[in-house]
A and B are shown apart, each in its own frame.
Chain A
Amino acid sequence: MAFIPHTPDDIVRMLEVIGVRSMEELFDEIPAELRAKSLSLPPPMCEMEVARLLTERAALDGRPLNFIGAGAYEHHIPAPVWAIATRGEFYSAYTPYQAEASQGTLQLIYEYQSMVCALTGMEVSNASLYDGASALAEACLMAIRSNRASNSRRILMPRAVNPTYAQVARAIAGNQNLTFESVDFDRTAGRTLLAALQAYSGQDFTALVLQQPNFFGCLEEVDALTDWAHDNKMLVIAVVNPTSLAILSAPGQWGAAERGAAAAGQRGADIVCGEGQPLGVPLASGGPYFGFMATRMQYVRQMPGRIVGRTVDVEGRPGFSLTLQAREQHIRRSKATSNICTNQGLMVTAATIYMSLLGAQGLEAVARSSMQRTADLVAALCAVSGVKKAFSAAHFHEAVLLLDRPAAPVLAALARRGLLGGLDLSERYPELGNAMLVCATETKLEADIDAYAAALAEVMSASRAAA
Chain B
Amino acid sequence: MTELHSREPLIFELSKAGRHAGTQFPPRLAGSAEVPPQLRRKTPPLMPAVSELQAVRHFTRLSQMNFSIDTHFYPLGSCTMKYNPKACNTYAMLPEFLGRHPLGPEPQGFLACMYELQEMLQEITGMQAVSLTPMAGAQGEFAGVAMIRAYHRARNDTGRTEVIVPQAAHGTNPATAMMCGLTVKEIPCDANGDVDIDALKAEVSPATAAIMLTNPSTLGVFEHRIVEVARVVHEAGGLLYYDGANLNAILGKVRPGDMGFDVIHMNLHKTFSTPHGGGGPGSGAVGVSARLRPFLPIPIVGKDAGRYRWLTEKDLPQSIGRLSGFMGNAGVNLRAYIYMRLLGREGMVRVAEFATLNANYLMKRLQALGFEAAYPQRRASHEFIITLKQENKAYHVTAMDVAKRLLDYGFHAPTTYFPLLVPECLLIEPTETEAKEDLDRFCDAMSAIRREMEHDPEKLCSAPHTMPVRRLDDVRAAKQLDLAWKTAEITP
Contacts and interface: CB of A to CB of B under 8 A. Distances in A.
Given A309-B483, A345-B279, A40 B47 contact: no
A312 B486 CA distance: 17
Given A58-B96, A98-B403, A168-B324, A3 B85 contact: yes
B contact residues, range: 35 or more
Most buried by B among A6, A28, A222, A320: A6
Most buried by B among A10, A221, A288: A288
B434 interface: yes
Contacts of B235: none
30 contacts: A5-B434, A5-B436, A14-B361, A19-B364, A34-B226, A39-B252, A41-B120, A41-B344, A43-B344, A93-B278, A98-B67, A100-B469, A101-B464, A111-B485, A168-B324, A171-B297, A286-B326, A290-B281, A297-B487, A329-B175, A333-B184, A340-B138, A344-B277, A349-B277, A357-B50, A361-B20, A366-B25, A369-B27, A369-B29, A420-B101
B316 interface: no
A165 B348 CA distance: 37
Contacts of A103: 62, 65-66, 467-469
Contacts of B137: 341-342
B491 A297 contact: yes
Contacts of A202: none
The 3 closest A-B pairs by CB, nearest first: A88-B70, A286-B326, A346-B277
Nearest to B76: A94
Given A2-B347, A26-B360, 16 more contacts: A6-B435, A17-B361, A31-B227, A41-B345, A61-B96, A80-B59, A90-B63, A93-B68, A100-B407, A104-B64, A125-B483, A309-B477, A317-B469, A330-B171, A336-B178, A338-B179
A179 interface: no
B470 to A, nearest CB: 4
A381 to B, nearest CB: 15
B179 A92 contact: no
A255 B67 CA distance: 45
A370 B259 CA distance: 54
Interface string A196-209: 00000000000000
A contact residues, range: 35 or more
Nearest to B35: A247
Interface string B344-364: 111111101110111011001
B370 interface: no
Given A101-B412, A115-B47, A353 B326 contact: no
Nearest to B321: A171
Contacts of B484: 110, 113-114, 117-118, 123-125
B258 A275 contact: no
Interface string A250-280: 1001000000000000000000000100000
A21 interface: no
A91 B70 contact: yes
Contact of A4 (B50, B97, B433): B433
Given A17-B361, A104-B64, A176-B179, A362 B21 contact: yes
B303 interface: no
